[in-house]
Structure 1
Amino acid sequence: MTESDLGIDSVVGNGVLRITINRPQRRNSLDRDATHRMVELIDAAPSDESVRAIVITGAGDHFCPGADLTSANERGDRRPRIGHLERALAAGAHRLIQTIWETQLPVIAGVRGVAAGLGCNLALVCDYVVAARSASFWYPFAARGFTPDSGSTFLLPRLVGTARAKQILMLGRQIDGATAFEWGMVTELVDDGDLGAAVDRIAAEFAAGATVAVGLTKWAVNHALELDLAHAMHQEAMVEELAIRSPDFKEGIAAFHDKRPPNYTGR
């Protein structure tokens, strides 16, 4: 089965892995195979030294309205054994969110139209989220009679606070792009016609950066969320010890000394 058959397009160029969800027949919702393909691409990216940043977008009018529940329910009439949902989430949606969270490359999301459920968390777990004014962020779980998954209860309170997270999750409130920006759910808000250029600009900036230091910084920030101050500072010291051994560190120091812009190579 090809990437096109899976509905996931990918291309590497200028230091950036670009992943596009392209499932127009399902409005870019993700089935099991598409989710697994995204995991494969993101998991392999750090091993390709030509890749220094990752971009995730949706083709057409929408980013991703979540998991493809219609496709999942078409797999057969036989009742699965108990625990099937937990196993499916662990192998699919949860693995995708965890892979983005853990990868030591910056991940940028470009969001227009609907980002709902898994699609919402797919955007919010990224390190830099550019949203078009048409963007709409929605957690429909409780409003449909079930509970949040794919990192909702971890990601959202950390971005907007507990009170707003409960409002969004428990009442199923849809959040427009402007409100998402105001509340800190997204990094940047742009007109729809400027979304592509804004994503390209940020991706190019990350791709020209000190990739080792950027990746270690991401790792330290993400893991510091669960640490006290002393352990967070110890973690900072450990990752800084690694960063100063990189050629890009030496280039950064030389550029500062020479009063010129650094020319980082991602090593």
Structure 2
Amino acid sequence: MTITNDINPMQDQHKPLAGYRATHFSWQVSEDHKVATITLNRPERKNPLTFESYAELRDLFRALSYASDIKVVVVTGAGGNFCSGGDVHEIIGPLTHMTMPQLLAFTQMTGDLVKAMRSCPQPIVAAVAGVCAGAGAILAMASDIRLGTAESKTAFLFTRVGLAGADMGACAILPRIIGQGRASELLYTGRSMSGQEGHQWGFYNQLHESDQVLAAAHTMAAQIAAGPTFANGMTKHCLHHEWNMGVDDAIDAEAHAQAICMQTRDFHRAYHAFVAKSRPIFEGD
């Protein structure tokens, strides 16, 4: 298996992705073409990732930066589980035979998937049921909003297989979600975080019944998709990039961001709707 960091464009820039067909996972778009759902679809193995699915997910999230038709992305897994991580036979085994340059190409590719998720302007909602382990836990972590269940078992289990807890940005992102001490515990021990713990610690925004979590994610996605698309993308950009800013720099960055949003038609629509005492209908421009 050859691992590269080259993009193989699936679409021309700014071309809609509503008609995209995935090869290594399921891809569905809502009737209004605003919400796309990515379903990891190997339920017999609890939806593990392969070299090919990593690369296709990376390329898809990169392409979403140019897809004005998609407003929100939902990520989930089939068969009652989210994702069990890298496939033991199709990834872990081959990694033991790779050279250092090959290993680095692989780890950089997996990191590029997280970068692509954080860089695409669409908010990402993860609907997590059952097992959410290893790289699966990273996919949930890299999402903007996470909905889980009481039965969700989330494990950053890298140390349990002889690897560092530092994987795909976990040491940078997880402490910002649940705090340094809690993140340290999970990354050192590799133990599972229960759904209740995840909710109490702020990893999960909400908990739902297993058969309702995906519907709840779609409800939230539809609510976000009905909002001002450009402003939502700007919000995501600021949430991500202000991690590395001081307060004064962040305030300046948000001043620029807000001034730009004030030039959008959606901002003007909201004003005129307020004056007319009606609800604004945002069109994304």
Do the two structures share a fold, i.e. TM-score over 0.5? yes
Query: Runs (4+) of structure 1 moved beyond 6 Å?
Result: none
Residue of structure 1 in register with 2:250 after alignment: 232
1:51 to 70, 73, 76: 70
In the TM superposition, what are the counterparts of 1:61-100 in structure 2 within 5 Å? 61-73=80-92, 75=94, 79-91=97-109, 93-100=110-117
In the alignment, the residues of structure 2 paired with residue 49 and residue 5 of structure 1 have an alpha-carbon distance, to the nearest angstrom, of: 22
Q: 1:31: how far off?
A: 0.6
In the alignment, the residues of structure 2 paired with residue 82 and residue 195 of structure 1 have an alpha-carbon distance, to the nearest angstrom, of: 41
Q: Which runs of 5+ in 2 are unaligned?
A: 1-19
SS of match in other structure, 1:193:
coil
Q: 1:3: how far off?
A: 5.7
Q: 1:72: how far off?
A: 2.0
Q: For the structure 1 residues 231 and 63, does the alpha-carbon distance in structure 2 shift closer, same or farther, using more than 3 Å as the test?
A: same
Report if the CA contact (8 A) 1:124-1:186 is conserved. no
Report if the CA contact (8 A) 2:80-2:210 is conserved. no
1:17 aligned to 2:49?
A: no
1:219 aligned to 2:237?
A: yes
Q: 1:197: how far off?
A: 2.0
Report how many residues are paired: 263
1:27 to 46, 51, 59: 46
2:171 to 141, 153, 164: 153
- One-letter amino acid of the structure 2 residue matched with residue 29 of structure 1: P
In the alignment, the residues of structure 2 paired with residue 227 and residue 9 of structure 1 have an alpha-carbon distance, to the nearest angstrom, of: 37
Q: For the structure 1 residues 69 and 197, does the alpha-carbon distance in structure 2 shift closer, same or farther, using more than 3 Å as the test?
A: same
Residue by residue, what CA displacement relative to the aligned partner does 1:136-179 show, whole Å, maximum 9, x if unpaired?
Answer: 11011112221121111111111111111111111122111111
1:111 aligned to 2:131?
A: no
Report if the CA contact (8 A) 1:210-1:248 is conserved. yes
TM-score (norm 2): 0.87
Residue of structure 1 in register with 2:57 after alignment: 38
- One-letter amino acid of the structure 1 residue matched with residue 81 of structure 2: H
In the alignment, the residues of structure 1 paired with residue 225 and residue 88 of structure 2 have an alpha-carbon distance, to the nearest angstrom, of: 36
In the alignment, the residues of structure 1 paired with residue 212 and residue 42 of structure 2 have an alpha-carbon distance, to the nearest angstrom, of: 23
In the alignment, the residues of structure 2 paired with residue 170 and residue 32 of structure 1 have an alpha-carbon distance, to the nearest angstrom, of: 26
1:172 to 190, 209, 214: 190
2:268 to 250, 260, 263: 250
- RMSD across aligned positions (CA): 1.8
SS of match in other structure, 1:192:
coil
SS of match in other structure, 1:234:
helix
